[in-house]
Amino acid sequence: MIVAFVLLGVGILAGVVSTVVSLASIASYPALLALGIPPLSANVTNTVALMFTAVGATAGSQRELAGQRGRVLRLGLLTALGGATGAALLLLTPGGAFERVAPVLVGLASLVLLVQPRLTEAAARAGGEHSVPLRCAVFAVAIYTGYFGAAGGILMLALLAAMLELPLIRINAVKNVVSGLSNGVAALGFALFGPVRWAAVVPLAAGFMTGGWIGPSLVRRLPGEALRVVVVICGLAVAVKLALDAY
């Protein structure tokens, strides 16, 4: 029961962190490792539980998602296919393929988000969200999320921010849903074929859902520029941590 309450609390914290600064796994994955769960099992367990963050975030972001159903469906199809591909790679190939490149990806994504307004103008001239290269990039980020996932939300947020001419708070809501779809499809594969620790999934998922529902109300209280700066600082800090672990 003590472990269950710990995981519930970690899940709430990670769910809030996910919807605000896109870094849920930075809180939840180490907690699973600290409880003695092996790395691969912790990774797939975390992914299965993490999909419930999107459920809570979707419920809490109806205001920001209004009028974006078509966009979410189009991007969600890409991220779902990417998540399935990433999960298959994780289950079928030796581990470690993305760990060394992850710090670079996260660091670059954080810097991209810092200059997002200027990149959005350039992306709009290239076709915006209808650009084939940008859609391929969404697919690639979803593969990364399904396979490794550390700070995958920051990568997706930076990419969507470059694609969409919307306030960052509305882009963040789209990111929560489409990233949740990539996690959800990957989670289905892990549930069927991976070493999931179901006793840990239940309390962690309940916390993720609660935190995901709370998070959007906190995001609304942050000015758009402040939200951008907070995400950038957190992303760069995580990139440094991932680099220290990988190298």
For 49-105, the pLDDT digits (tens) are 888 888 888 888 898 899 889 999 999 999 999 999 988 988 887 656 556 776 777
What is the distance between the alpha carbons of residues 158 and 137, in angstroms, rounded to a whole number? 11
How does residue 126 score in pLDDT terms, banded at 50, 70 and 90?
low
What is the distance between the alpha carbons of residues 223 and 169, in angstroms, rounded to a whole number? 9
Burial of 149 (0-12, 13-18, 19+ CB in 10 A): buried
Q: How does 59-74 read in b/e, with b if 16+ C-beta sit within 10 Å?
A: ebbeebbeebeebbee
Question: Which stretch of 48-52, 143-147, 154-158, 238-242 has the lowest confidence by average pLDDT?
Answer: 238-242
pTM: 0.78
Burial of 150 (0-12, 13-18, 19+ CB in 10 A): buried
For 160-213, the pLDDT digits (tens) are 888 888 888 898 899 989 988 998 898 888 888 888 999 999 999 999 999 889
pLDDT, position 244: 81
Spatial CA neighbour of 21 closest among 151, 182, 211, 207: 151
Give the list of residues 6+ apart from residue 88 with CB closer than 8 angstroms, or none: 189
DSSP-derived secondary structure letter, 114: H
- Longest distance between any two alpha carbons in the chain, whole Å: 55
For 31-45, the pLDDT digits (tens) are 888 888 887 788 888
Spatial CA neighbour of 148 closest among 47, 22, 235: 47
pLDDT, position 180: 87
Tell which wins on pLDDT, 136 or 150.
136
Task: Answer yes or no: are the C-beta atoms of 158 and 110 closer than 8 Å.
Answer: yes
- Residue where the block lists tokens 């998922």: 205
Tell which wins on pLDDT, 143 or 231.
143
Question: What would the mean pLDDT of 139-147 be, rounded to a whole number?
Answer: 88
SS3 of 222, please? coil
Checking if the pLDDT of 230 tops 80, the result is no
How does residue 127 score in pLDDT terms, banded at 50, 70 and 90?
low
What is the distance between the alpha carbons of residues 51 and 53, in angstroms, rounded to a whole number? 5
Both tokens of 226, joined, read 């402040």
Checking if the pLDDT of 140 tops 80, the result is yes
Checking if the pLDDT of 115 tops 70, the result is no
Structural element, H or E, at residue 172: helix 168-193
What is the distance between the alpha carbons of residues 36 and 48, in angstroms, rounded to a whole number? 18
